[in-house]
Amino acid sequence: MWRMTKRAFSTSALTLLLLSFAPGALAAVTTHTGTLPDGATFLIEVPSPWNGTLLLYSHGYVVPGSPNPAQDVGDPATGAFLLSNGFALAGSSYAHTGWAIQEALPDQIAVLDAFTTLVGTPRRTIAWGHSLGGIITAGLIQRFPDRFDAALPMCGVLSGGVGTWNQALDSEFAFKTLLAFGTSLQLVDITDPNANFALAEGLLASAQTTPQGRARFALSAALGDTPGWFNPALPEPAANDFASREANQFLWASQVDFPFVFAFRAELEFRAGGNPSWNTGVDYRKQFERSVDREEVRALYKQAGLSLEADLEALNDAARVTANPQSVEYLEQNIIFNGRINFPVLTMHTTGDGLVSNQNESAYKDVVDEAGNQRLLRQTFVHRAGHCTFTPAETVTALQNLLERLNHGRWPDLDPSTLNAEAAALGPLNVAPPSFLRFEPAPFLRPFDAFDEHHCDRDHHDSDVCHDEF
């Protein structure tokens, strides 16, 4: 979701990679730039010769106040490769930063219109994007299906806006109840984002100094299924190396997640006219039992001499957070999913993503399956820590397989060994060994989609829990 949180590969590696495509390998490229009526800028690059395929790229979250240029590809090496192979690239900046789905959807369609005017009508158009751009990609194909032929959402927020921020609230709620009770830390209706974030960081740092604090923080992280792997340059800690896994969850929280939940939430609330998240009716004992991190939490509680049962009871007894119904409606519009896809969609996610958890893929698959469109969806996974830390080779490999599905009308072999061999064959696009793997993510803990009754937070894998109020 946040460009600056992407733990990417080294700049020097990308520079060397670009040199492998320049100058002779790069096609002659015509660049078009401009400004849309709402102030968003756009970037279009068309190689000569053009193969007739347009890739419409949706970029990720931009922190309010940060530079916001138009982007038409996720990284320069992938862009250079695609242009040299005849693909046209396009994308906009969106009119505003932050949770900009409301602006991004029409802005991206306006870019398609500009492309038609400036270049011509593509033979086919593929939507793709990273992180917040992944949810925008899925939103584009749901809202404007006639404008696209296929889609590649990568590391996408595919649980939708409501589920994503509700699950974030669960982690916040546990953190305040167990580690910040009685403080002025604000979970919602945040009035001073910078001060609120600074307070949260201080409380987190203090908790990390004691076994009891680490155990309770691990419980809050478990309610968001935060992975215990942070650095893509290091191997994943063993499943029973609970101390290392908790230390990595601390890094995710302090460096990536806390800015969103304790500061950037305020930008969303401003957009929505209030708080769009709630936890009324949530059984935290049940949520914990479904978390992928539950064994880690049990072990750390035992080491710390704490009663996990007592803390889960404290969470269930604590006063709950209700939402502003109009704000929920805003977040439903921007956006939740109905599973109605009309053409091939291939997703890609790293297993060790602590900003947009891999369980987002389960939420999207559930809704697509419920709509009866499972034949059109395939999901791929890369065994690596970090948010959107795909190599250019892995990205191109995913795109090539999506194109093969378009060309032949059936899905190619997506076995990880096949994908890794295809990525390895791309030579300098591999800035790290290709790491596709067979993986099935756990259920997303707080699903909310178009099949849910209004005011109802349905658990697809358990009984329904409906709320009388937000």
According to DSSP, the β-strands at 345-352 and 377-385 are parallel
Per-residue tokens: 41? 């800028």
Chain centroid to CA 61: how far? 10
Q: What is the pLDDT of residue 27?
A: 73
**Predicted confidence (pLDDT) per residue in 392-451, tens digit:** 999 999 999 999 999 999 999 999 999 999 999 999 999 999 999 999 999 999 999 999
Q: Burial code of 301-322, b = ≥16 C-beta within 10 A, e = fewer?
A: beebebebeebbeebeebeebe
Per-residue tokens: 171? 């982690």
Cα–Cα distance, 34 to 90 (Å, whole number) = 12
Give the count of beta carbons closer than 10 Å to the beta carbon of residue 131: 27
- Residues constituting the chain: 470
pLDDT string in tens for the chain (470-residue length): 444 334 334 333 333 343 344 434 567 999 999 999 999 999 999 999 999 999 999 999 999 999 999 999 999 999 999 999 999 999 999 999 999 999 999 999 999 999 999 999 999 999 999 999 999 999 999 999 999 999 999 999 999 999 999 999 999 999 999 999 999 999 999 999 999 999 999 999 999 999 999 999 999 999 999 999 999 999 999 999 999 999 999 999 999 999 999 999 999 999 999 999 999 999 999 999 999 999 999 999 999 999 999 999 999 999 999 999 999 999 999 999 999 999 999 999 999 999 999 999 999 999 999 999 999 999 999 999 999 999 999 999 999 999 999 999 999 999 999 999 999 999 999 999 999 999 999 999 999 999 986 544 433 333 333 333 45
What lies within 8 Å, CB to CB, of 68 at 6+ separation is 62, 93, 94, 97
Please tell me the chain's helix, strand, coil percentages from 3-state DSSP, rounded to the nearest 5. 45, 15, 40
pTM: 0.92
Q: What is the pLDDT of residue 453?
A: 64
Instruction: Say which DSSP state 260 is in.
Output: I
Q: Would you say the C-alpha torsion 274, 4, 46, 55 has a positive or negative sign? A: negative
Per-residue tokens: 29? 């490229």
Q: Burial code of 415-446, b = ≥16 C-beta within 10 A, e = fewer?
A: ebeebbebbeebebbbbbebbbeebebebbbb
Q: What is the pLDDT of residue 11?
A: 33
The reply to whether omega before 141 is within 30° of 0 (cis) is no
Instruction: Say which DSSP state 293 is in.
Output: T
Query: Which amino acid would we find at residue 82?
Result: L
Superfamily of domain 3-158+337-437: Alpha/Beta hydrolase fold, catalytic domain (3.40.50.1820)
Residue ranges covered by each domain of the chain: 3-158+337-437, 162-331+454-466
Query: Are 168 and 188 within 8 A, CB to CB?
Result: no
Per-residue tokens: 26? 């790069």
Vertex 133, ends 132 and 139: CA angle to 5°? 95
Query: Are 357 and 224 within 8 A, CB to CB?
Result: yes
Cα–Cα distance, 325 to 328 (Å, whole number) = 5
